A = this chain, B = another copy of it.
């Protein structure tokens, strides 16, 4: 049997794991600096926990797990009974009762609802785990991929939004990845719908926004007219779609458009607060820069984008989206504020706000811009040559001393010709070799060779722990 991998899944070799961990660790470190605590949930949830939460399309893309023990006669009868449902694309509990995690939000909501009385509110959690979706695989889209979320629930304060924006800028500064953080507020879109005749106009507006890039403003206007919007309403939408300039200018235009509309004014004022307070860091960057990490000066751009709509049905306040600058790829992050995380699980009125990092795409961007630090590849530092039984045991003794010092070392597994052992070191990109033959065993020395520079020099056994295997 010639082995292969299921479609849309991947093995990660050592170099890839290390680069992915560099991204994961950078994000986790920042999450922790902001007081977020780790949570891990199981890969499988009850099917009923997941079904109906992601829309009809989403339900179909959930990986369901076949019940075990179907050879049991009693169970088999139930499977038969429920079988017609399966053929209709519905799930039969006789056949499947569990499913794989589809995102991290619903398991988080399930966790908060289950443990609500034990949790100290506001509750800040981060979660970095794989999810599974039966999507058609294509370039950059996998059936198993990681999500990376930070949420704070149990608080309506805008200070949370301020901190989440700061987390985005800090993470992308640390990754040396220039991004644009786009901001909007769902209340502004609601206000626009209100002014166009009511909340049911939201879909029409969303479609117009979506098509603007593809078909241009004139065709959009035509379509809005066909959908029964008045000239005045269409003018308003056009004015809204054409908002541009600096953040300050955009805020001014928004204020003019929504003057007197309570919902709109609330959304604009929230947006304004985040933009203004996010400048705090810039004002403090006059402290000694050489003394501190790059976090203190804000390289990242915060941009108001009134047309940003992201997950309209779910979010109720601030909306975030992150785009990498200079690289053509979809958004590499996003999130927003919601009013009710856990209502579906019997615990109403838990508001919150969260952000998410698209770690697979961030990996792709860093690969494209050659953005991984050189020292991400931290494999074995020193290969000890194996030149005989007694020599190998003496090598092992020295190696144990180096390992105690935190230096990763390997012994070639069997006595072989120099050539073969050198090749192994080269293939595995091990920067140093240590040669300990019968002559060295007698003289109490080991020869250290730097494979990059080609220099080599003898070293007394007792001096090996003082040697720096750097560079």
Contact = CB atoms under 8 A, between A and B. Distances in A.
B65 A345 contact: no
Of the candidates A17, A166, A413, the one having the most CB atoms from chain B within 10 angstroms of its own CB is A413
Interface of A is mostly: mixed
Interface string A77-95: 0011001001111100001
A404 B293 contact: yes
Contact of A66 (B6, B66, B132, B393): B66
Given A35-B380, A43-B130, A87-B71, A114 B401 contact: no
Interface in A391-427: 392-393, 396-397, 400-401, 403-411, 413-414, 424, 427
A10 B42 contact: yes
A396 B277 contact: yes
B403 A33 contact: yes
Instruction: Bin the interface of chain A by size.
Output: 35 or more
A113 interface: yes
How often does this chain occur in the complex, in copies?
Answer: 2
A38 to B, nearest CB: 4
Interface in A74-123: 76, 79-80, 83, 86-90, 95-98, 100, 110-111, 113-115, 120, 122
Nearest to A125: B14
14 contacts: A5-B42, A6-B42, A12-B39, A14-B37, A18-B38, A33-B403, A33-B408, A63-B65, A64-B65, A65-B100, A66-B95, A71-B89, A159-B386, A277-B396
Given A11-B42, A66-B66, A277-B396, 18 more contacts: A4-B46, A4-B114, A5-B46, A11-B41, A11-B111, A14-B39, A35-B409, A35-B410, A37-B379, A64-B66, A66-B95, A66-B96, A70-B89, A80-B87, A155-B414, A162-B396, A280-B396, A284-B397
